[in-house]
Amino acid sequence: MTKKKLTLFVDADACPVPVKEEIMSFNKALSDVEIIFVASYAHMSTTFREAKWVMVDSEKEEADLYIHRHSSKGDIAVTQDYGLASLLLPKGVFVLSPRGKSYTEENISTLLHTRYLASKSRRAGKHTKGPRKFTGDDRVQFRKKLIEILSNYEGDYFYLSKL
């Protein structure tokens, strides 16, 4: 029985460039992992041409819908979108934020509820804080978490020896 090829989906519309760079730094070492950046035509980029890009319509949530339809158990998705994460988790997809936070069945309800409350406050005219600035520490944390997930897929020696 052959092992299913692992796919790493990147919700590229809002993914910070340093995270895309980290993912691409794994590209050569991970020949058995398919990396797919999914973005709308409105966010088309000419950066990272060596990567596989899937361009979707600019309609709201099109990138999310593509990732949801094409991902399967054991795949990895990188997204900031709690809604997308909540759809992927029951499929058995490992979901990681660009800051290196794992979305899990245990924390997704709280994250969705917090997002709902913030949205409700904004509709009521209250000012809410946006996300803090992306830092070098965030990049390091993302890299560590991605290595951890990939190591669980093939074993520590396989990935750590290639990186």
| Residue 159 clears pLDDT 60, i.e. is over it | no
Contact between 84 and 69 under an 8 Å Cβ cutoff? The reply is no
Domain ranges of the chain: 6-154
- Rounded to an integer, the average pLDDT of 63-69 is 95
Structure confidence by residue, pLDDT tens digits, 12-30: 988 999 999 999 888 777 7
Give 28 or 75, the one with higher predicted confidence: 75
Cα of first residue to Cα of last residue in the chain, in angstroms, is: 27
Q: Tell the CATH topology of 6-154.
A: Rossmann fold (3.40.50)
Residue 104 backbone class (left: φ over 0; alpha: ψ -120 to 50; beta: rest): beta
Residue 99 backbone dihedrals phi, psi, to 5 degrees: -95, 5
CA distances to 76, 85, 96, 159 from 91, rounded to whole Å, are 11, 10, 14, 24
Give 51 or 161, the one with higher predicted confidence: 51
Rounded to whole angstroms, how far apart are CA atoms 54 and 70?
A: 11
pTM score, two decimals? 0.83
6-11 vs 76-78, strand pairing mode: parallel
